[in-house]
Amino acid sequence: MKVVLGTPLNAVPRPWLYFHVPAVMVNALEVKRDPRSALGFEGELWIDSGGYQILKKGLTVDVDKIAEIYRRVDAQLYFSLDVPPSPSDPLEVAEKKFEKSYKNWERLRRALGDIVVPVLHVYREEGLFLKYLRKYSDAPALAIGGAVPYVLITRGVPRGSRELALRLMSIARREFKGPIHVLGMGSPSVTPILHAMGIQSTDSATWRLKAAYGKVILPGGGERHVTSRAVSFGKAKPKDGELEELYRFLMETGFPALDGFYERIRTSFEYRALVNAWVVVKSWSQTPRAPAFRKLYLQVAAARR
């Protein structure tokens, strides 16, 4: 399974300078010059339209502006400009957003061709999801967005939201013939489940954010605070043997910078970020650590046999 690393253009560290990264994703709204030059990256580059950020910040971005950005960037994949529905949106509001996302894709596809991937959103009304899944049936690839609040069970989602999101993804995987990417679901708690479903790829930008808060990500999911700095949330410290388990995972999977591991994860943001990026990219074959996700993984894996 491919786990794509999301990154701001000017951020450090740059894991791809230290080890192989399957692909890197950047936000179209940040692209002011050649992103490959800014990143120092010659590998597989994906461009996100910034639909989620546009929604959060109340911005208005014209489809033609996104098309203009996409035309001047040499990338392997471009996501269509989507309009994400909120889990609490009434059906009629959500349907307008689904239709707007579809129209945006049609326009970008006419302008740029099949390199533009449509985004279909998880939503509590299964019939709406299925209606637009059928409309995207001739797309060469499909992205599924909006899954994060359902899988993480945030405010406003319906009861059973995690199972709903996974069921919709499973239906999409069964009915859509091309590759599927699930946006923002690169947590090691979730990637084994997606892999068991037959999903081809997902992405994560949290590898760097967690490191900035003094945390390392564990194989199979979960995070542990490893610095001496006081924190207001996510205070869980490593339990006996967890850092040793992380070290063994890094060693067994070929992480290239193990010298001084125990000291450097405590004192260096950049080192923690490199460790987190490696775990995110490599951990999809590990059984999820958290009981709820482990149960879902075992159910999905059994159903696929």
**Residue 55 confidence (pLDDT):** 65
Q: Which of 241, 122, 253 is nearest to 183 (CA)?
A: 122
* Residue 50 near residue 56 (C-beta atoms within 8 A): no
Other beta carbons less than 10 A from residue 289's beta carbon: 17
Domains of the chain: residue spans and CATH:
2-206 (3.20.20.105), 208-285 (no CATH)
CA angle 44, 46, 50 (to 5 degrees): 165
Q: Which of 290, 286, 287 is nearest to 298 (CA)?
A: 287
* Residue 159 near residue 134 (C-beta atoms within 8 A): no
Q: What is each CA distance from 168 to 111, 150, 182, 228, in whole angstroms? A: 30, 11, 11, 42
* Residue 203 near residue 3 (C-beta atoms within 8 A): yes
Show pLDDT as tens, one digit a residue, over the chain (305 residues).
999 999 999 999 999 999 999 999 999 989 988 999 999 999 999 999 987 776 666 667 789 999 999 999 999 999 999 999 999 999 999 999 999 999 999 999 999 999 999 999 999 999 999 999 999 999 999 999 999 999 999 988 999 999 999 999 999 999 999 999 999 999 999 999 999 999 999 999 999 999 999 999 999 999 999 998 776 666 689 998 999 999 999 999 999 999 999 999 999 999 999 999 999 999 999 999 999 999 999 999 998 77
Q: Which of 43, 114, 31 is nearest to 70 (CA)?
A: 31
Q: What is the pTM of this model?
A: 0.95
